Amino acid sequence: MHRVKEACKAMRLAGLRSLPFLIFTVAIVGVLAGCDNPFDPLKSSDKIQGLTYFDFAATQEHWDSDPEWDGIQISMNYFNEFGDTLSFHDKPHKVQIDIYSEESSGTPPVVTRKFLTSKTVVYSNSDDLIRIPIEFYGGFLSIADPPVDIPGCLLVHVFPPQESPKRELIAPLQCIPDLYKKESETL
């Protein structure tokens, strides 16, 4: 019986020795919980750091299996003040695309632009493409019979995320030769 009491006493002492270690461990974990993880690759800000201006390229494209043209595909490039390309992910913001048609008439030809419509999309990643189906803007075009290619222009507005006061970047008007492209008879 005496040996059992001694064993219990030894166990109690061993438990008491590990108590300071347990308290120390909990304190360290509590202190470090408030620190940023230096290995976390994502910044906590939704702001696109260093964004000064942007540029875009637009073309008429096919993106499904049928032979008909599907619409306009726009690729966007964001730059800092030094002209370096900025890459970002999960930074949702609005991009507004204004679509104009171009018509020329008379001699010498006089080009007039007609506002067709505007589309606003949410753009989140620098490597995304913006696709605007022909069905979205085609109803606003004056398509001749027989159809001909119709040139047009795009004006793109970017509203960067987390900007206060709200700021808007606008790229120069960019004209494309084939806002509407007639179907080739060889297809």
Give 107's DSSP letter. T
Average pLDDT over residues 120-145: 88
Based on its alpha-carbon atoms, the radius of gyration of the chain, rounded to whole angstroms, reads 31
**Structure letter (DSSP) for residue 182:** P
Residue 50 DSSP SS3: coil
Give the closest residue to 143 by CA, choosing from 177, 181, 174: 181
Q: Which residues of 171-181 are buried (b: 16+ CB within 10 A; e: fewer)?
A: beeeebeebbb
Please list the alpha-helical segments (H only) found in 34-139: 134-137
Q: What is the DSSP letter of 38?
A: T
Q: What is the mean pLDDT of the chain?
A: 80
pLDDT value for 177: 83
For position 102, what pLDDT does the model report? 86
pLDDT value, residue 10: 55
Q: Choose the weakest-confidence range: 8-17, 71-80, 110-119.
A: 8-17
For residue 5, pLDDT over 80 is answered with no
Q: How far apart are CA 120 and CA 135, in angstroms?
A: 15
Give the 3-state secondary structure of residue 133: strand
Type of residue at 19 = L
Comparing 44-48, 108-112, 164-168, the range with the smallest average pLDDT is 44-48
Q: Residue 97 — very low, low, confident or very high, per pLDDT cuts 50/70/90?
A: very high
Kindly list the domain boundaries of the chain, sorted by start residue: 1-37, 53-180
Band of pLDDT at residue 33, cut at 50, 70 and 90: low
Residue 187 has pLDDT above 50, yes or no: no
User: Does the pLDDT at position 12 exceed 80?
Assistant: no
pLDDT at res. 106? 78
Six token digits for residue 62: 């096919």
Select the CATH number that applies to the domain covering 53-180 from these four: 2.60.40.1940, 3.90.550.10, 3.30.310.160, 1.10.760.10: 2.60.40.1940
Position 103 scores a pLDDT of 82
State mean pLDDT over 124-147.
Answer: 86
